[in-house]
Amino acid sequence: MNIIPENLKKYQKFISLVLKYRNSDILSAASDKALDELAEDQELSEESNRYTSPEELVEDLKNMGPTYVKIGQTLSTRPDLLPETYLLALASLQDDVEEIPYSEIQKIVEEELGTKISKAFLSFETQPLASASIGQVHKAVLRSGKEVAVKIQRQGIRKNFIEDLDTLKELSDLAVKHSKTAKKYGIDDVLDEMRHILIHELDYNREAQNLIALGKNLEKFEHIVIPQPVLDYSSSKILTMDFVEGQKITSVHGIQKTEIDFSVLIDELVESYLQQIIFDGFAHADPHPGNVHLTKDRKIALMDLGMVAKFSPNLQEQILKLLIAISKYNGEEVSKVLIEISQDDKNADIIGFKKEINRIVLDSQNRNAAEMQTGKMLIRMNKIAAEKGIRIAVELNILGKILLNLDQIVAVLAPQYDLAENMKQILEKMMVKKMAHEAKPENFFAQLIETKKLAENLPERLNKITENLAQNQFELKIDALDEERFTDAFQKVANRISIALIIAALIIGSSLLMRVPNFQIFGISIAMFFFIIASVFGLWLAYKMVIKDEDFKRKK
């Protein structure tokens, strides 16, 4: 790891956090070697060895800044990475962050819109509706009288995010290099995906387009509301959108549950998410209960579209097959689909993976509606895959997170709702709908063009093949090793080694005969005679090796 001097404080801050929790459940599987290297030049205090609670981790993340708060929020829905006690504690990070002072809000709004806040808006409430790690939301009224919600990004948050993420990237690379656990769970991939999500979430122009796209995709659902942006009052740091009056799902009380039939709303909510994933390939990726509101007219509003997931056509089809297999408790088909959308190394335990998946699916068959949680099951499968050396597509973990959040919403609004059975019915309808959609003439156009080309060229090519067969002119070209050439080359090498050994023997013999002064032929020392012969042979061998071999290569 290359330590950049100006980042030393950031490294120290993160390393101190790791060392503090090195003996807790959260790092119980970490590599000692990686931690030892991270701990270089760091003194372990008594505090690092004492018991640390999940609640303490939450406070530490808040103190470390918005980047770590956002990472904590993301990790709060990752049971494949963290123990349950930490997940519950990190969930409190969803709302509990410090407010931005109104003076700072006013400054940002006026800089972004290029006008006074009093000119842009008829009224602008100083108290925020909500405050988050990236920004906060205020209610306002446009000059037209339209009520809007204005989301304002925290000053300098993008720069801080990028700096912190760069630091974490370097440290995650180190962890993957030295920790088998970090490598097995793809910590570097997790961080890359997190970076991608967080950077996109900082661009409010992108979120505005997400709101428009999702609103269009879900316009057929009567009970689903997507607030639409007001583009003239929006920028990369400000997002002005429809004001939706209502309450968070988490604040729905017991009396409301008896007055409202939530099953109709949940039916639409579940179907809308399955449509997003399987048909549209574009889904709201963060439907935690804090981002799903119950409106005054008893509809469900989906808020905060900074985080979206995209699924390729092939992956959409595989997910449909996977969810249908789960609904039918077909463990063999489930493991087959998971392997098809994954990568595995040479040491992957495929047989063990299939056994574990089959066991999970069969166990789920014996659970009642309240206990059956497809999201949690998918995340468990992802964890088992990592343990067996299989890396499932990251989109599947996002799918697990979406379904896990839906499970939580159902548990709040209608605990007795049979989500698994209703999903099965919706999926079967979607399978028929998808097949009908793919059978449309326009979807066959590309295939028809290729089929037309094949049909046009096939008779001519078949005639050519049969003519060549009839005239005994059918040839099969195979690039293979030329045995004769190989043998000749090998023999040439052997001969040259033999000649070289003879020359060496002549030179050594000549050196020894130099000690016999009276041994001469025609007045020349016999030693010198053999030395001359060795020199001639040596020059001849050099000629053969350099000149002749070069001529041979050119001819070849």
pLDDT at 154 over 80: yes
Q: From 479, 423, 391, select the one nearest 187 (Cα to Cα).
A: 391
Mean pLDDT score, 421-450: 73
Mean pLDDT of all residues in the chain?
78
Q: Which amino acid is at 208?
A: A
Taking only the tens place, the pLDDT of each residue in 373-405 is: 788 888 888 888 878 888 888 788 888 888 888
Is the pLDDT score of 305 beyond 60? yes
pLDDT of residue 241: 97
pLDDT category at 132 given cuts 50, 70, 90 is confident
- Averaged over 299-321, what is the pLDDT? 91
Is the pLDDT higher at 525 or at 261? 261
What's the pLDDT at 113?
Answer: 94
Q: Cβ distance 378 to 400 under 8 Å?
A: yes
- Look at residue 553 and tell me whether its pLDDT is greater than 60: no
Q: What is the pLDDT of residue 534?
A: 72
259 in Cβ contact with 415 (< 8 Å): no
d(CA 268, CA 279): 15
Whole-structure pTM value: 0.70
459 vs 363, more confident: 363
Higher pLDDT among residues 272 and 2, named by residue: 272
Radius of gyration (C-alpha) of the chain in whole angstroms: 36
359: pLDDT confidence band, cut at 50, 70 and 90? very high
Q: What is the mean pLDDT of residues 426-455?
A: 69
Predicted pLDDT of residue 365: 79
pLDDT exceeds 50 at position 129: yes
pLDDT at 249 (0 to 100): 85
- Percentages (nearest 5) of helix, strand, coil residues in the chain: 65, 10, 25
Q: What is the pLDDT of residue 369?
A: 55
Q: What are the extents of the domains in the chain?
A: 5-98+159-194, 487-555
Most confident range (mean pLDDT) of 142-151, 250-259, 546-555 is: 142-151
Distance CA(501)–CA(506), nearest Å, equals 9
Mean pLDDT of 117-138: 92
Q: What residues contact 59, with CB distance under 8 A and at least 6 apart?
A: none
Average pLDDT over residues 236-256: 88
Residue 518, pLDDT > 60, answer no
Between residues 547 and 295, the one the model is more confident about? 295
pLDDT over 90 for what percent of the chain? 27
Tell me which residue of 25, 1, 21 sits closest to 11, measured CA to CA.
Answer: 1
Q: What integer is the mean pLDDT of 132-161? A: 92
Q: Please state the rounded mean pLDDT for residues 100-104.
A: 93
Which pLDDT score is estimated for 45? 43
Q: Highest mean pLDDT: which of 37-46, 219-228, 374-383?
A: 219-228
According to the model, what pLDDT value does residue 29 have?
A: 40
Q: Which string of DSSP letters, residue by residue, matches 507-549?
A: HHHHHHHTT-TT-EETTEEHHHHHHHHHHHHHHHHHHIIIIIH
Q: Show contacts of 531-540: CB within 8 Å, 24+ apart.
A: 531/506, 531/507, 533/506, 534/503, 534/506, 534/507, 534/510, 537/499, 537/502, 537/503, 537/506, 538/503
What confidence tier does 416 reach under pLDDT thresholds 50, 70, 90? confident
Instruction: Indicate if the pLDDT at residue 81 is higher than 80.
Output: no
pLDDT band, residue 445 (cuts 50/70/90):
low
Give the pLDDT of residue 261. Answer: 80
pLDDT at 96 over 90: no
How many C-beta atoms surround the C-beta of residue 448 within 10 A?
10
* pLDDT computed for residue 510 by the predictor: 67
- Tell me the pLDDT band of 462, cut-offs 50, 70 and 90: confident
Burial status of residue 173 (CB atoms within 10 A of its CB: 0-12, 13-18, 19 or more):
middle
The average pLDDT across 326-352 equals: 88
Of residues 36 and 394, more confidence is placed in 394
